[in-house]
Amino acid sequence: MISTQLALQLAHKFEQLCIEGLPVEDVYPAILEQYSEDILTVARIYEKFKQKPDIARGAPPIAGTLSPFLENCL
């Protein structure tokens, strides 16, 4: 699976080639659709762990609460 950022970079590189008949503009809606799916996935993960996140054993309460969210986002 290719990330949204890599897909945008690749589309931009093809756009810079200026090859006639290459439909680069048709790719951008698909990339934006993938980006919206990525955002929805992150929102679902956040909602799942928002109320009662998994806390690592021996971790301080605040840091342990934030670590699963940060791992999924970074």
State how far the Cα of 46 lies from the Cα of 54, in Å rounded to an integer: 12
Contact criterion met (CB below 8 Å) for 5 and 35: no
Say what the pTM is: 0.57
pLDDT score for 65: 61
Q: Please report, in tens digits, the pLDDT of each residue of the chain (74 residues total).
A: 458 888 888 888 888 888 888 787 888 898 889 889 989 988 998 888 777 766 666 666 666 666 666 666 65
Domain boundaries, the chain: 4-73
pLDDT score for 62: 63
HSE (CB half, 13 Å, CA atoms) of 4? 12
Residue with structure tokens 């698909």?
30
